[in-house]
Amino acid sequence: MDLFSRRHGLTRPDAEIHIRNDAPQEVRDAVVQIAYTCGQKPSDLRALLCGILFRTPDRSNWSEFPNIDSEVRDLIEDCEWFEVYDFIEKISEQCRYGNHDFAEEINRFFRVAGVGWQLVDNHVEMRGSEIFEVAVRQGQKKLRQQGRTTAANELHEALNDLSRRPDAETTGAIQHAMAALECLARDVAGSKDTLGQLVRRSPGLFPPPVDQIVEKAWGYTSNYGRHLVEGQPPQFEEAELVVGLSGVLCRYLSRKPPSIK
């Protein structure tokens, strides 16, 4: 149904992200309800959940409502938080050849509910602030359009590492993010220097004082992305910051002509 709000392009503002490594009751209930709205039956969802939990469907339950629906509610309650997002991916895959509104609806719910995930191409991926999304994902898209696939792939891997469940691979995210920036900076400057060397030897690459920020970020990556200290892995927020910074800087460099000296 083409509702009033959609016809006029009206949406609720995105809530601040406060749900990441969790799937509270409101998320579990919404997933089931959205799946029903998009054409899934309780028996469809029961089959998916039983597969995730290695359970056998209750053969005494025949009617979709209320019996199998009640079983679905019990099964999703037994899921670990990350299994709920596995469930979302399986529903999305099942909807691929049917109703295509599931991803749109689940992502709309995530934004309104402050869930730090999003469904992209049947995969649940980490979602950041609007600025983060524009900087990193649009930056990645721009690089691919320019044929700079190595840098684009490194940004993609950084996002994958942030999206890992149940625990993000923060070290890998930092490494891939700065590798993307270094790769692009080398291409723009026409040099094989490291990013730290490029900042010092190519003053036109980044405007001051941004060049100092880049150099310090490179040093941070050396400490926390490559030379690790036992028991001191980077925090998620730190990795997210580095990935976001890399995305912004990659977008900036992608607009520069090659061989900046």
Runs of H (alpha helix) within the chain: 4-7, 25-37, 42-53, 69-77, 81-94, 102-113, 130-133, 139-145, 149-162, 170-189, 195-201, 210-221, 236-254
Mean predicted confidence (pLDDT) in 79-108: 90
Per-residue pLDDT tens for 111-167?
Answer: 999 999 999 999 999 999 888 888 898 889 899 999 999 999 999 999 999 999 999
Residue 63: what are its φ and ψ, rounded to 5°? -80, 140
Per-residue pLDDT tens for 24-33?
Answer: 999 999 999 9
Distances from the Cα of 179 to the Cαs of 16, 132, 141, 173, 194, in angstroms? 30, 18, 17, 10, 10
Instruction: Fill in the amino acid letter for 162.
Output: L
Nearest to 92 by CA among 146, 52, 45, 149: 45
Q: How confident is the model at residue 97 (pLDDT cuts 50, 70, 90)?
A: low
- The pTM for the full model equals 0.85
Q: Are 174 and 239 in contact (CB under 8 A)?
A: yes
Per-residue pLDDT tens for 100-121?
Answer: 689 999 999 999 999 999 999 9
Between 146 and 257, the higher pLDDT residue? 146
